[in-house]
């Protein structure tokens, strides 16, 4: 009798109603205290980066976006909390102080401006330190605030990561549901497609998609293929008129004057397209971000598709699905109205676990220079800029440390929260059973 009661209690505890889900989530938090810290880190990162986005991408008086605003003469300034002891660096920072301020300090200490700027100690030196340009987390080589660029870059990285994860999970859910519900040869064919895609190097496929799409956009704006085709067509016509049987390219090589004339006419006929002519009206930067988003999402759905397919194959033989089928419900209606709600937990878990993968891929591509492109910041290209600033003579460590810290902290927090969510929704994981 006691065993039957325990079994009933276990079945009740694993039911998918909100009360039991909340109870299991609280239990997961107790078993994983780090989850609370992870939730706090994520809340802080999203609030700091996303809510500050209107300010960080806002324009200054001259129309320059705030994340791109800086004075090159104030480049590579250490964070405000970091003590500066090197005499050469002190002299460089003194030289950044406006002449008017130097004159005022000199008048108070009885020194000429050229003497004040060389002061590295004493009362004059201490007063000069208070007039140095101050950056909370330092400045980059172009004198731009690293804090502002980290906030703007974080918003871009998080937005791309979350959007790519949502798109990939949507694709994987639709694909897996279709394969699992239809079954038979359709299921076998669809899963073989997934197996083939699994065999392709993951990052390599994303890199190839990003590079290929960038080349297509460049050709569309530059119109080089159109000019080349027009030049070769007119060169072929000229060769026919002259009675030359060789190829048009041979004629262009033998007659440089003709080649220059045709190229000039082609440039006049096919001028460069403005970025406003790009599809969707997003401009070059916006379209690059959309292409990057699509490239990441297009290869991130495979695991979700496999997991959803397995869940659907177990659900399609349940009584409620058979009842809906007996009442004449169509396949799409059964999948959307009856099966999909039972996949909510699985979808939520894999969405949480896919977001850090998408953010990492975006950062890696930006690090390689084929993701988010300058002057737009992202944690990946900020880390790449910081890596180039490390050298044996002078290490501007803050340019690499802070982007890597924010990226690592966000990815770790997302994985911790995703594991806790998976544990709270998966009874087998909670009991230590096979996953």
Count the neighbouring beta carbons within 10 Å of the beta carbon of residue 145: 23
* Spatial contact of 84 and 398, defined as CB atoms under 8 Å apart: no
Supply the DSSP string of 150-209, one letter for each residue: HHHHHHHHHHHHHHHHHHHHHHHHHHHHHHHHH-HHHHHHHHHHHHHHHHS-HHHHHHHH
Q: List Cα–Cα distances, 281 to 66, 215, 270, 273, 290, in angstroms.
A: 23, 19, 21, 13, 12
> Rounded to the nearest 5°, which phi and psi values hold at 145?
-65, 125
* Spatial contact of 288 and 315, defined as CB atoms under 8 Å apart: no
* Spatial contact of 22 and 418, defined as CB atoms under 8 Å apart: no
Structure confidence at residue 23 (pLDDT): 67
DSSP 144: B
> pLDDT (tens digit, 9 = 90+) per residue, 154-209?
999 999 889 999 999 999 999 999 999 998 999 999 999 999 888 888 778 778 88
Mean pLDDT of 359-380: 86
Domains located in the chain, CATH noted:
20-62+143-219+283-430 (1.10.3720.10), 81-130 (no CATH), 224-271 (no CATH)
- What the block records as the tokens of 221 is 């704006």
> Rounded to the nearest 5°, which phi and psi values hold at 330?
-75, 165
Structure confidence at residue 15 (pLDDT): 45
Supply the DSSP string of 259-309, one letter for each residue: HHHHHHHHHHHSPPPPGGGSGGG-HHHHHHHHHHHHHHHTTS-HHHHHHHH
Q: List Cα–Cα distances, 254 to 29, 239, 290, in angstroms.
A: 77, 11, 44
Structure confidence at residue 208 (pLDDT): 83
What is the H or E stretch that residue 367 is in?
A: helix 344-368
Q: Among 400, 160, 429, 98, which Cα is nearest to 288's?
A: 160
- What the block records as the tokens of 144 is 């731009």
Mean pLDDT of 284-303: 83
Q: Among 78, 39, 69, 214, which Cα is nearest to 148's?
A: 69
Instruction: Please give the radius of gyration of the chain, using alpha carbons only, rounded to the nearest integer.
Output: 30
20 burial level (CB within 10 Å; 0-12, 13-18, 19+): middle
d(C-alpha 381, C-alpha 403), whole Å? 9
> pLDDT (tens digit, 9 = 90+) per residue, 301-350?
998 999 999 999 988 888 888 898 888 888 888 888 888 888 888 888 88
Residue 224 has pLDDT above 80, yes or no: yes
* Burial annotation 70-85 (CB, 10 A radius, 16+ → b, else e): beeebbbbbbeeeeee
Residue 96's pLDDT band, with cuts at 50, 70 and 90, is confident
d(C-alpha 249, C-alpha 253), whole Å? 6
Structure confidence at residue 192 (pLDDT): 93
């Amino acid at each position: 009798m006691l065993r039957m009661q325990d079994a009933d209690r276990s079945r009740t505890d694993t039911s998918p109603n909100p009360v039991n889900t909340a109870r299991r989530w609280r239990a997961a938090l107790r078993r994983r205290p780090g989850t609370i810290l992870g939730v706090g880190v994520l809340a802080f990162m999203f609030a700091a980066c996303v809510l500050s986005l209107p300010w960080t991408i806002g324009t200054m008086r001259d129309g320059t976006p705030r994340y791109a605003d800086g004075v090159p003469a104030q480049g590579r300034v250490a964070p405000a909390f970091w003590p500066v002891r090197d005499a050469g660096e002190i002299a460089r920072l003194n030289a950044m102080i406006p002449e008017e301020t130097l004159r005022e300090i000199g008048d108070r200490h009885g020194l000429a401006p050229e003497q004040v700027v060389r002061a590295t100690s004493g009362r004059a030196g201490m007063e000069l330190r208070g007039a140095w340009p101050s950056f909370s987390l330092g400045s980059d080589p172009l004198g731009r605030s690293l804090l502002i660029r980290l906030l703007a870059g974080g918003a871009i990285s998080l937005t791309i990561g979350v959007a790519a994860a949502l798109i990939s999970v949507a694709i994987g859910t639709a694909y897996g549901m279709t394969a699992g519900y239809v079954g038979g040869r359709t299921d076998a064919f669809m899963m073989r497609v997934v197996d083939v895609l699994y065999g392709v190097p993951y990052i390599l496929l994303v890199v190839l998609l990003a590079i290929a799409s960038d080349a297509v956009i460049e050709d569309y704006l530059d119109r080089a293929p159109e000019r080349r085709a027009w030049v070769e067509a007119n060169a072929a016509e000229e060769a026919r008129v002259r009675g030359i049987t060789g190829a048009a390219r041979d004629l262009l090589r033998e007659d440089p004057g003709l080649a220059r004339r045709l190229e000039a006419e082609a440039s006049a006929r096919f001028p460069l397209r403005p970025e406003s002519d790009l599809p969707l009206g997003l401009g070059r930067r916006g379209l690059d971000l959309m292409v990057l988003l699509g490239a990441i999402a297009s290869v991130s759905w495979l695991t979700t598709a496999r997991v959803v397919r397995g869940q659907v194959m177990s659900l399609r033989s349940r009584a409620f699905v058979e009842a809906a089928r007996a009442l004449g419900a169509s396949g799409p209606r059964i999948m959307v109205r009856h099966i999909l709600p039972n996949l909510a937990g699985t979808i939520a878990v894999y969405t949480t676990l896919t977001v850090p993968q998408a953010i990492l891929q975006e950062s890696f591509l930006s690090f390689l220079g084929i993701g988010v492109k300058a002057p737009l910041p992202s944690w990946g290209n900020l880390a790449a800029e910081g890596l180039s600033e490390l050298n044996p003579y002078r290490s501007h460590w803050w340019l690499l440390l802070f982007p890597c810290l924010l990226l690592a902290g966000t990815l770790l927090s997302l994985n911790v929260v995703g594991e806790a969510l998976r544990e709270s929704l998966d009874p087998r994981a909670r009991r230590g059973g096979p996953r």
